């Protein structure tokens, strides 16, 4: 059984897009993340030190969306996944990134990507 921590619909402004025009002004983005880890020790002991700090996860996502510039949503998602796997004792992350006002002619709510990345075998020692 895999336990999951989920943060949904985090809202950020960022300068991402293929064209220079898209990157001129900040645009709205939404990010969801799911982190797979063993939550039982934290649940049994009621101890934040035994789980992942949700606030820090939010900050990692915010820093990547607001303080960097990427052309592709795929690159934003990869950056977030990489940082979450690097910083936290999780075995897998799922990252969804949505651009709320994509430059696509026509009516749509958003455009987005979803990726799932797992910790490599060499990095298993960081898991809790």
Arithmetic mean of pLDDT, 110-128: 76
pLDDT in the model for residue 73: 98
Answer yes or no: is pLDDT of 109 > 90.
yes
pLDDT in the model for residue 85: 98
Active-site residue (options: 99, 109, 113, 115):
99
101 an active-site residue? no
Answer yes or no: is pLDDT of 24 > 60.
yes
pLDDT in the model for residue 2: 84
In a domain, 128, yes or no: no
Domain of 36 in residue numbering reads as 3-123
In a domain, 7, yes or no: yes
pLDDT bin (cut points 50, 70, 90) of residue 1 is low
In a domain, 54, yes or no: yes
Arithmetic mean of pLDDT, 5-14: 99
Task: CATH number of the domain at 19, please.
Answer: 3.30.1130.10
Which contacts of 69-72 are long-range, i.e. CB under 8 A and separated by 24 or more positions? 69/14, 69/15, 69/16, 69/23, 70/16, 71/16, 71/17, 71/18, 72/16, 72/18
pLDDT in the model for residue 45: 96
pLDDT in the model for residue 125: 44
In a domain, 68, yes or no: yes
In a domain, 31, yes or no: yes
Taking only the tens place, the pLDDT of each residue in 46-103 is 999 999 999 999 999 999 999 999 999 999 999 999 999 999 999 999 999 999 999 9
- In total, how many domains does the chain have? 1
């Amino acid at each position: 059984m895999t336990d999951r921590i989920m943060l949904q619909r985090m809202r950020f402004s960022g300068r991402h897009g293929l064209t220079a025009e898209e990157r001129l002004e900040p645009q709205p983005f939404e990010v969801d993340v799911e982190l797979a880890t063993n939550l039982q020790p934290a649940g049994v002991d009621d101890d934040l030190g035994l789980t992942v700090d949700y606030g820090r996860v939010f900050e990692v996502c915010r820093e990547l969306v607001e303080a960097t510039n990427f052309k592709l949503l795929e690159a934003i998602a990869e950056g977030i996944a990489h940082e979450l796997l690097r910083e936290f004792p999780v075995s897998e992350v799922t990252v969804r990134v949505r651009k709320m006002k994509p430059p696509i002619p026509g009516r749509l709510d958003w455009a987005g990507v979803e990726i799932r990345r797992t910790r490599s075998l060499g990095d298993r020692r960081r898991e809790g």
